[in-house]
Amino acid sequence: MTSIVNIKKLLSVGLVNRLQANYGQFAFENILKGFAAERCPVIRINTLKTSVQNMMISLREMSVRFERIKFLPDSLIITNQKEKFFEKLPMYEKGEIYFQGISSQLPVLFLDPRPGEKVSDMCAAPGSKTAQMAIRMGNIGEIVANEKDQIRFEKLKYNLEKQGVKIVKCLLGDGGELGEKYPQYFDKVLLDAPCSAEGRIDTNEPRTYKFWSEKVVGQNAKLQRRLFRTAVRVLKPGGVLVYSTCTLAPQENELLVKGELEEFQGVLNLEKIDLDFKYKLPFFEGLNGTIKAMPSNISEGFFVAKFRKV
């Protein structure tokens, strides 16, 4: 494994110093090791098209080894194969399985969309969480999935069609403008916001960290605040909003949550996320019960906060 010293040399001094100051030396070194780790593939089984039991039988017949995840019963950690092994298999081509990391699945787990509900996915592409929600809802209800970028919008539509999702209305446009069209319309809102993506850093892929700067963090935090205000506007009273990012930056996570709770005092309550599940994921409990997953060999870094509108 690449040494801590060599990993630090690859990253921005500003990022390294902030991580070390925020987490202390032991956790800081584990985060750097997570940046350098080769992650095991995680497949989410599409129960619209097959069953978990049938998929496990098929995988065992191909001598694929896997581990189950207690709190994500339709997902498996693959321990002896890479993604490329699956990409030409019928199960992948037919949309029976989908690659989606453990931490990426947490926002939908905590949003808990139910059949018949109206749900907004404000920044939806490439559709991983959109499809995850539709599958949990049994293709019953309504999901409005918004994406601003044309290329990513096409990817969103492709992934949803491949997985047999029928209840999603895809919108191409600025998620911050949804408030005019859908005031207090949705039972639940997922704001998986654009971010500086620190949790997805892979030191074997320079494109994942070379773009980082304090300016990028600040620009994303500004956009996130704008989208958050829209999320509150489109949510029904009594509804649930889950905010998530794949970054470790406090400006985009804990500090944003603190600021929005102050702005929406009397309108939003922050709900503690249940941490009863036990697994090998390194979790930190953040501000008043938010969750931050640290980068590791089985997860990307992720932040999740859950709110309820009064």
Residues carrying an active site annotation: 246
Whether the link from the prior residue into 126 is cis, omega within 30° of 0, is: yes
Note the Cα 103 to chain centre separation in Å: 6
**Where are the extended beta strands (E) located within 41-153?**
42-45, 66-68, 75-78, 97-99, 118-121, 142-147
Q: What is the DSSP letter of 41?
A: P
Q: How far apart are CA 304 and CA 246, in angstroms?
A: 9
Kindly give, in sequence order, each residue whose CB lies less than 8 Å from that of residue 218, ignoring residues fewer than 6 positions away: 251
Residues in the chain: 310
Residues 22, 23, 25, 28, Cα dihedral to 10°: -100
